[in-house]
Structure 1
Amino acid sequence: MDKREKIIDAAMIAFQEKGVEKTTITDIVKRAGIAQGTYYLYFPSKLSVMPGIAEVFVTKILTRLQTQVVGESFDQQLTEVVESIFHITDENKDLAILIYSGLTQSEHLQEWESIYTPLYDWLENLLKSAKAAGSIRPEIKEAFTARIMVGAIESTAEQIYLYNQEGFAHARAHKKELLTFIKQALRAGE
């Protein structure tokens, strides 16, 4: 693990233990086992580490998608995409909350799109394959649709796992409705 990764890992733990406001750079560097000056070689401020933390989250999502989206049909793949993002959100609730709270407190919110670009690109390629196979409308704009889908899927997962505590049946019903919504949007006019 390189020093940048050590700093990001240490920051995630420190922020989750003490909260973003109470955590200091000293807390982070002690946990990372580096000198304070080394921190500043990678990050100019305490909150400038937030995009790095968001990258960790996006990497978790991408890794899961790359290993779990294996269905032969686009419908199955779409279900696997939703399940994967829901699973990562549920499994990493504290990390998701940390990212949103930290990025909104900093000037780094504008970096969000670039952090998410690998995820958008992955989903865009899935949509291109589905379009080539005739599984979705030919006029779909894959790049725009990928961003809309990520937003809808993540927002629904966050509503379920970060804000509500209504249980498994509630989550399952939301997933089903979300999948129906996305499938109908991708195939409108059939």
Structure 2
Amino acid sequence: MSKGGITIEDKKERIVRAAIDVLCSKGLEKTKVSDIVKGAGIAQGTFYLYFPSKLAVMPSIAEVMVHKILDALHQSVNLNASIEVQLRSFIGTVFTLHQENREQLALLYAGLASSEYLKEWEAIYAPYYRWVTEMLNTAQSAGHIRDSLNTGRTARLVIGAIESAAEQVFLFDQADEGEIEAQAEEVYAFVAHALGIKVL
């Protein structure tokens, strides 16, 4: 549906994109809805048609980040390669995304943690969980990881371990290149051992 050539989806996307820019620039506390609508080029009343508050935008920002993660994984992880190569590519991609999007991710974690929208995280992450579950299912069927694993639960644990490792070096520690590489290698060894992969 459109009005004046601008669809509802376009308006919502403009609000979300503007919210990311303004919130990263001004911070969560200092940002006002008026700042977001100015950046989006819409009337303030239009904002409230989609979101009841600035914190209500957080789940939509999370969806943008999950789409970005999945797009990057589809481009960088060769699902025909060995599980060792897939896992290393997966870790490298997550680390790169955290390095390139540290401001957005810090904002996202702060916004979700300070709102009632944290409960929506699981639903937003569902496509990401499915992608990793399918990767593990394929490896398990081929006998390359332990057959006793519940791949659905393990997918969540794998994502949690890799993202936590990336957050430590990019959001909290401001580590140098050597520490980043060491952290990536350590999380690879940890996850590979948990999956029953032989560490090369």
Structure 2 residue aligned with 1:13, among 10, 17, 21?
Answer: 21
Structure 2 residue aligned with 1:37, among 24, 41, 45?
Answer: 45
Residue 161, structure 1, aligned to residue 170, structure 2: yes
Q: CA separation in 2, counterparts of 1:28 and 1:64?
A: 27
Instruction: Specify the SS of the correspondent of 1:172.
Output: helix
- Displacement of 1:188 after TM fit? 7.6
Q: CA separation in 2, counterparts of 1:166 and 1:100?
A: 20
TM-score of the aligned structures, taking structure 1 as reference length: 0.96
Alignment correspondent of 2:144: 135
Alignment correspondent of 2:161: 152
Alignment correspondent of 1:111: 120
Residue 65, structure 1, aligned to residue 73, structure 2: yes
- Displacement of 1:165 after TM fit? 2.0
- Displacement of 1:166 after TM fit? 2.6
Structure 2 counterpart of 1:15, one-letter code? L
Aligned length: 189
Residue 3, structure 1, aligned to residue 21, structure 2: no
The answer to whether the 8 A contact 2:63-2:124 is kept is yes
Structure 2 counterpart of 1:185, one-letter code? A
Q: CA separation in 2, counterparts of 1:178 and 1:138?
A: 21
Instruction: Specify the SS of the correspondent of 2:147.
Output: coil
Residue 46, structure 1, aligned to residue 54, structure 2: yes
- Displacement of 1:5 after TM fit? 0.6
The answer to whether the 8 A contact 2:34-2:44 is kept is yes
TM-score of the aligned structures, taking structure 2 as reference length: 0.91
Alpha-carbon displacement from aligned partner over 1:90-141 (angstroms, at most 9, x marks no partner): 1100001010111111110111111111100100000000011111011110
* Unmatched runs of 5 consecutive residues or more in structure 2: 1-8
Instruction: Specify the SS of the correspondent of 1:76.
Output: helix
Instruction: Specify the SS of the correspondent of 2:175.
Output: coil
Residue 174, structure 1, aligned to residue 178, structure 2: no
Structure 2 counterpart of 1:130, one-letter code? A
